[in-house]
Structure 1
Amino acid sequence: MAIMVMYFTIHTTKRRIFMRIRNKLFITNVSVFLLFIGIFLIFILTSFRLMNLKDLQREASSVRNSILKLEYANRAVLNANAAPLDTLKWAGIEVTDALRNFSENENLIYLNQNTVSRIDEIKDLFYERDFDAYYEQIENELSKVRQRLYNTTLELELQDMTEQGFQSDSGFKTMVKIQEDVRTFILWHRPLADSFVSVTNAIISEVQDQIATIILQTGITVFVGIFLSLFLIIALYRNMIKKLRSVNDGIRKISSGDLLTRINIESEDELGTIGQNFNLLTETIWHKVNNIGSIIHNMGQSLSSEADALVLEQSILDLAIENTHADSGALYIPDHEERTIFCKIKTSNFATPYDHDDMEESIPFGKTVIGISVLSGEPLFLRTLKGQNLIPERGLFDKGYISSCLILPLVSEKTVIALLCLQKNNENQFFSDMDYSNIQSFVEFSAVTLNNLAQYKELLKSSGLNREMEIASDIQKSLLPPRLPRVDGFDLSVKTYTQKGISGEIYDFFPLGVDRWLFCLAEVEEKGIASSMLLVILRTLVRILVKPEQEPAEMLNNIFDNFHETTGLDTNIKISLCLMEPKKKVFHFCGTSDQKMILFDRKSETMKLVSALQKEEGRFISVKGTLRKDVFLLMMTDGFHRTLNEENQMYGWDPPQRILKQYGDHTADWLQDAINKDLTFFERNLGQRDDRTLFIAKYKGASR
């Protein structure tokens, strides 16, 4: 049965390549299960056969013992007091029954014909001797001399009578006759017992042969079963393994940053679905990167006039509709001074998500779902409008029908600067969790972009250097984390010192899964608003492309490639990445050309300057190190170590190392200030001429 199922499975698999994987697994498991059930049944049957042979062997031994008992009973007639006959009688009955039952045993079919014939011959010989007649004869003769044998045996009595010369006595003759009859029976009976010894040995030999046969059959059956099972598994899984390799290769290329890779699996099973989903994910990421590039381009075009700025806002709305596959949408702008909201842009088929006609031009804060979202700053995802009271539920054929809605505030520096309202307007069409998830990073980036655009326009309109520095500084601050997160086991400090408030440097620090923290330090050649825009792209790419399981070198390769592809600029960018794992007590460092990091072990007073490594083809390599208590990691930009004084001497890496050695018992913030003051003294009257950022991490030991 198992083999038939296997043949059917293989034949079906060849004809139906698109069978579901779970069905393949089910059929494979059932086939292998039935195959081994068959093997088990064969083993059980052969085991029963062996058990029957063992029972036959025990019964043959029992028959032989019965025959020997009969011999002992005959000898007891001659050698026991009073010549007992009861034992002889019961022994004879036992042998008769044993021979009859044994000859009728169904298990004799397992023996060869010669052994069975020998058993029948022994039974027939015993029956021919007529034990009953023999017993009656002995009983009659003993009755004549019974009184003489009460306290002695027949053998002793004959010996005494011989010694006394009573050979002519009738009793003597009767006892001699009994002696002769018993001895004759014993002489006849002995070969019968010996014959059964050969029968028993033949059965033992047969059992051993059967055991060897069973072992051989079981071994062959198991071997054939394993072979057929492997053949079945290989036949079913060969195509599946090929698909898995294709998926694995595609995933590896995608994870390495090749967003143009597509996984091609012509299959309708789960692997085909995985390939399609990864292709969709790749397209989504690629669209996100392209959308960011489009916004940057439109932003650059919109810096000249207010009319051109509308192009950027229209681009944000169009890209949001495209990313979520929405049917319609609108962009609302709040006026925080008047505390009202007005619709800046909307598509022609946009349905107002409220029924207040008097609020068509402006919406007060806190009124309607738009005003509530602006006031709270929280996004709202209404998959369906049934069972909610925020948006009026209209009929399919009513004007302004909405089936699903996304309300997305664009928040910058805790202030809502715009609001996107996206809608589905067709029956049974709804936004998915994937739509909502994909749009989040786009909304965050759009908020930063609109905020920077507004501040830069204010910068253009403002007069005076101080006002320009203040607005430029606000742009810079919006790109940096508001504060460093607290990391168990570390004392952290980071600070950017900008030249005239405008920086071409940026840093970011965020968790990557459990016990993995990534610090990113970057700088570009451009200054002012141009550097801010490039750093916006860089920070966004870091957040999008970095994956928890990657090493820093792989992260940096992806970021570096996508940055140049997204911006289309051949600008010089310097990046350093440091991945810290405090519980595992390790760190990983990598960076672009000439990037370095100070590693100082205060306990052993070991100082090392770790340089970033690259392969010949320009790909980056991670450097791994061990964290111990009181180990310092220090990273800084060119604005520190390349600073020149009045004598044209370079500050370099030695002064920070000297400060770490001398004041390593202080906090990271104290060391930050000490190094900056030392550099300021080094510059003396020249003043700061470049942006500079300093990051210090002091490892205090893994928390328990």
Structure 2
Amino acid sequence: MKIRTKITYIQLTTVFCILLSIGVLYRSFTDIEELKQLQVNFNRLIDIEYNVNDMLYNSLYINENIVEFGIEVTNKFNALISLVDFMYKDITKNHKYLDANFKQFYYQWHQKNSNYYLPLAQNFREYVSPTKGWIPIISNHGLLKGYDILLDEESKGLGDEARIKQLKSTIDLIKNNKLSQKVIEDQIKIVQEDLQYNINVSIAGNSLLLIILLIFIVTAATMMSSRISKSLIKKVHNVETSLEKIAEGDLSSQVIDNSGDEFTDLAKSFNTLSTMLIGKTASMKEIMNEISEIISKDVNIDALLIKITELAKQSSKADAATILLVDKFSDILRVEHLEGFFPPPYSVSISVKSKRSLIEEKFKSTPIPFHSSYLTKESVLKGEPLFVKDSEEESDKLPFNSNPQDILFIKSSMTIPLVVSNKLLGVISLAKTNREETFSDLDFSNMVSFVEYVSLTIDNLYKYMELLEKSEMKREMNIASEIQTQLLPKKIPVLPNVDISAFSDSARGISGDYYDIYKISKDKSVATVCDVAGKGIAAALVLVIIRTILQLASNSKSTAKDLLTFLNKSISDRVKTDYFATLSVLVYDNSNNSITLSIAGDTPVLIYRSKEQVVERITHSDVPVGIDNTTIYSNKSISLNEDDVLYMFSDGLLEVRNDFNDVFSINELESFILEHSNNRTETITVLLKDYLNEFRGAQNRIDDETVIVFKKI
């Protein structure tokens, strides 16, 4: 039985029970209302009864128009009789359980009626003639006093003996009626209590019946709902378990349900989907294996794109497939590869339409601007996959391909952007040209996943190729770095009366700085600090050239300016001006304690004068080497006294920045020199490196840092 049918049965049962409850409730209220109405009638009867008795008793003493009084009393007698008879008939017909007590009341009341009310009514009907002479007497004095007056007149021979006896009978009936009222009142009380009791019993009984009925309704609805709920929960659990298994990768999971309800239909659809997923997954694995095989044989993007087109067509069972790549220099797409006959998504002349080969040639040779069609706007500009399930229903999306009679007709198409490293590489587009076939939503979903995998594969392939290039570059850089390390002196030569230390720390693996200290004769030595503009392999190669030229050009007669001038002429025409160099060259002659200093660039040389406790700053305005081959550099002659210290350094020291973006200035370097120049040069270089690192904090080294400390001892 279908779940909808079960729910309908529950709804009908609930409605029936509610209607039954309403009927019971209506019947209950009807019974109670009838009893209440009976009680109202009975109370009205009592009121009339008491009113009549009071009127009769008051007529003995109160003077009033006896004619009108007689008419009124007679009417009330008639009303009493009618009401009592009506209630008796109602009770004997509809409320037999009240029959006993009310009958007793009814008989007693009729006995009283026969004994008192009917005779009184008969007497009062005799008083309706206002022409009788004694009527005014009664009206003016009341029955008792009027009776006395009439007796007195009779004693005088003036009265009517028959009327006097009738009046005496009326007075006696009224008095005796008063006495008999107690019996009626007792019976009235019994009937009232009986009525109230039955009203209470009816309310209690009907309420109990209603409660029982409601309990039955709730219980029945709960049991039926619970039974259906348990069944539904079990079925939902089965489906949920199968879905979890599929989510975990077990696509063979099936839902078994033979109940014949909607879950049976759901199970069939689920199992069909599971089977399709198994097929699609197997197909995707085959595709991945084929792509992996291509990549493993040869890292060739063009071959990979061709295979991707073939696999996309095969996997989606499309009639045609194409890959269009984004042009590197303009906003257009170009056909990279075609599989099958793919109608172009734009207008084609009649002459071209005459042959498929012409159409294919047109499609391959014609670039497609990004804004030319809905297809390219969605897939290229917005980067969204585009699925046209049926072009005849969505002709606005393929306006040139929606006519079934046209050779350019495309029934269904899928166009998915090929995004590599967040950059659009192109689009993969597939088409069905058979009017009877369309792509399904599952086909579209699978193809989107396929293209995502392809994008990732191409991205990894590009990264792998880039890694190969970087690996080769790194190997070359390691070789260059090793060569550069060889440029630095393995051991600083020992010079008479001089203490020398140096260091060079690069900002990257291959430095643009270097220092050199070497002897050119028995008494002469050269010290140089060089900083080539730029970094990397090119800068390192320029350093090699500079070092080689300086060492080859150095001789016992060389001064600092001779070396710089020769170096500048040698390299100005051989290296790009992008790789100019700033240098400080010092030639020390131990025989006469003389120093010649030449500077190319604006980086100063600092000298600590021990005796004066000051720092002397030596600067030149000569241009760096490698810019102008006509530059003639100048010499600066220097003499050092004992414990004087000379500092040669690259401009990297003056570009050190801390966490607050403050720059290590030359003033701070001079302060360091004043504080620490009394140490040995080896200690000075260690302290200077520590001082720079402490100042830098968490910041990276911006430029290469090279220092030579030259101390006269």
Query: For residues 13 and 414 of structure 2, what CA distance do their matches in structure 1 show?
Result: 51
Equivalent AA in structure 2 for residue 94 of structure 1: A
* Counterpart in the other structure of 1:136: 122
* Counterpart in the other structure of 1:496: none
* Contact 1:327 1:425 survives alignment (8 Å): yes
Change (3 A) 1:462 1:156: closer
* Counterpart in the other structure of 1:554: none
Q: Are 2:435 and 1:427 aligned?
A: yes
Pairwise CA distance, 1:429:
3.7
**In structure 2, which of residues 196, 201, 204 is the aligned counterpart of residue 212 of structure 1?**
204
* Counterpart in the other structure of 1:95: 80
* Counterpart in the other structure of 2:625: none
* Contact 1:82 1:153 survives alignment (8 Å): yes
Q: Are 2:303 and 1:342 aligned?
A: no
Q: Are 2:412 and 1:404 aligned?
A: yes
* Contact 1:103 1:120 survives alignment (8 Å): yes
Equivalent AA in structure 2 for residue 232 of structure 1: M
Change (3 A) 1:205 1:394: closer
Equivalent AA in structure 1 for residue 23 of structure 2: L
Q: Which moved more, 1:410-419 or 1:168-177?
A: 168-177
Deviations 1:633-653 (A, max 9, x none): xxxxxxxxxxxxxxxxxxxxx
* Counterpart in the other structure of 1:45: 27
**In structure 2, which of residues 25, 46, 54 is the aligned counterpart of residue 64 of structure 1?**
46
Deviations 1:347-406 (A, max 9, x none): x47556565524154332429768778864744332222323746336658766521111
Length, aligned pairs only: 469
Equivalent AA in structure 2 for residue 225 of structure 1: I
Change (3 A) 1:243 1:468: farther
Report the 3-state secondary structure (helix = DSSP H, G, I; strand = E; otherwise coil) of the residue aligned with 2:369. Answer: coil
Report the 3-state secondary structure (helix = DSSP H, G, I; strand = E; otherwise coil) of the residue aligned with 2:11. Answer: helix
Query: For residues 424 and 279 of structure 2, what CA distance do their matches in structure 1 show?
Result: 25
Q: Are 2:225 and 1:233 aligned?
A: yes
Query: For residues 49 and 208 of structure 2, what CA distance do their matches in structure 1 show?
Result: 37
Deviations 1:167-188 (A, max 9, x none): 9996896454432232234445
* Counterpart in the other structure of 1:485: none
Pairwise CA distance, 1:214:
0.8
* Counterpart in the other structure of 2:669: none
Query: For residues 213 and 26 of structure 1, what CA distance do their matches in structure 2 show?
Result: 33
Change (3 A) 1:252 1:307: closer
* Counterpart in the other structure of 2:362: 359
Change (3 A) 1:462 1:164: closer
TM-score (norm 1): 0.54
Report the 3-state secondary structure (helix = DSSP H, G, I; strand = E; otherwise coil) of the residue aligned with 2:195. Answer: helix
Query: For residues 45 and 272 of structure 1, what CA distance do their matches in structure 2 show?
Result: 46
Query: For residues 133 and 161 of structure 1, what CA distance do their matches in structure 2 show?
Result: 21
* Contact 1:459 1:467 survives alignment (8 Å): no
* Contact 1:301 1:308 survives alignment (8 Å): no
Pairwise CA distance, 1:116:
5.6
Query: For residues 150 and 468 of structure 1, what CA distance do their matches in structure 2 show?
Result: 150
Q: Are 2:435 and 1:449 aligned?
A: no
Query: For residues 428 and 186 of structure 1, what CA distance do their matches in structure 2 show?
Result: 109
Query: For residues 292 and 680 of structure 1, what CA distance do their matches in structure 2 show?
Result: 47
* Contact 1:381 1:407 survives alignment (8 Å): yes
Query: For residues 304 and 124 of structure 1, what CA distance do their matches in structure 2 show?
Result: 123
Pairwise CA distance, 1:32:
1.3
* Counterpart in the other structure of 1:191: 183
Change (3 A) 1:280 1:419: farther
Deviations 1:518-568 (A, max 9, x none): xxxxxxxxxxxxxxxxxxxxxxxxxxxxxxxxxxxxxxxxxxxxxxxxxxx
Deviations 1:571-604 (A, max 9, x none): xxxxxxxxxxxxxxxxxxxxxxxxxxxxxxxxxx
Superposed counterparts of 1:481-496, under 5 Å: none
* Counterpart in the other structure of 1:388: 396
Query: For residues 322 and 26 of structure 1, what CA distance do their matches in structure 2 show?
Result: 49
Query: For residues 286 and 176 of structure 2, what CA distance do their matches in structure 1 show?
Result: 123
Query: For residues 278 and 467 of structure 1, what CA distance do their matches in structure 2 show?
Result: 56
* Contact 2:418 2:426 survives alignment (8 Å): yes
Query: For residues 420 and 48 of structure 1, what CA distance do their matches in structure 2 show?
Result: 80
Q: Percent identity?
A: 18
Equivalent AA in structure 1 for residue 39 of structure 2: Q
* Counterpart in the other structure of 1:201: 193
Superposed counterparts of 1:119-518, under 5 Å: 121=107, 124-125=110-111, 128-129=114-115, 131-138=117-124, 140=126, 145-149=134-138, 152-155=141-144, 174=165, 176-188=168-180, 191-251=183-243, 261-266=253-258, 271=263, 297-298=289-290, 300-303=292-295, 306=298, 312-313=304-305, 316-317=308-309, 320-321=312-313, 326-333=318-325, 336=328, 341-346=334-339, 348=340, 355=348, 357=359, 358-366=361-369, 376=381, 378=383, 379-386=385-392, 387-388=395-396, 390=398, 392-393=400-401, 401-413=409-421, 415-433=423-441, 435-454=443-462, 456-457=464-465, 464-465=472-473
Q: Are 2:73 and 1:80 aligned?
A: no
* Contact 1:78 1:153 survives alignment (8 Å): yes
RMSD: 5.2
Change (3 A) 1:234 1:452: closer
Report the 3-state secondary structure (helix = DSSP H, G, I; strand = E; otherwise coil) of the residue aligned with 1:407. Answer: strand
Report the 3-state secondary structure (helix = DSSP H, G, I; strand = E; otherwise coil) of the residue aligned with 1:197. Answer: helix
Query: For residues 60 and 326 of structure 2, what CA distance do their matches in structure 1 show?
Result: 131
TM-score (norm 2): 0.53
* Contact 2:379 2:427 survives alignment (8 Å): yes
* Contact 2:324 2:334 survives alignment (8 Å): yes
Deviations 1:187-235 (A, max 9, x none): 4555345433333322222222212221222122212222222233234
* Contact 1:351 1:402 survives alignment (8 Å): yes
Query: For residues 421 and 243 of structure 2, what CA distance do their matches in structure 1 show?
Result: 37
Pairwise CA distance, 1:39:
1.4
Equivalent AA in structure 1 for residue 121 of structure 2: Y
* Contact 2:325 2:427 survives alignment (8 Å): yes
Equivalent AA in structure 1 for residue 387 of structure 2: F
* Contact 1:52 1:107 survives alignment (8 Å): no
Query: For residues 337 and 677 of structure 1, what CA distance do their matches in structure 2 show?
Result: 45
* Contact 1:364 1:371 survives alignment (8 Å): no
Report the 3-state secondary structure (helix = DSSP H, G, I; strand = E; otherwise coil) of the residue aligned with 2:172. Answer: helix
Query: For residues 100 and 244 of structure 2, what CA distance do their matches in structure 1 show?
Result: 74
Change (3 A) 1:68 1:377: closer
Equivalent AA in structure 2 for residue 227 of structure 1: T
**In structure 2, which of residues 2, 6, 13 is the aligned counterpart of residue 31 of structure 1?**
13
Equivalent AA in structure 1 for residue 26 of structure 2: I
Equivalent AA in structure 1 for residue 388 of structure 2: L
Report the 3-state secondary structure (helix = DSSP H, G, I; strand = E; otherwise coil) of the residue aligned with 1:344. Answer: strand
* Counterpart in the other structure of 1:572: none
Report the 3-state secondary structure (helix = DSSP H, G, I; strand = E; otherwise coil) of the residue aligned with 2:390. Answer: coil
Give unpaired runs (5+ residues) of structure 1: 1-15, 470-498, 501-662, 665-673, 686-704
Equivalent AA in structure 2 for residue 404 of structure 1: S
* Contact 1:326 1:423 survives alignment (8 Å): yes
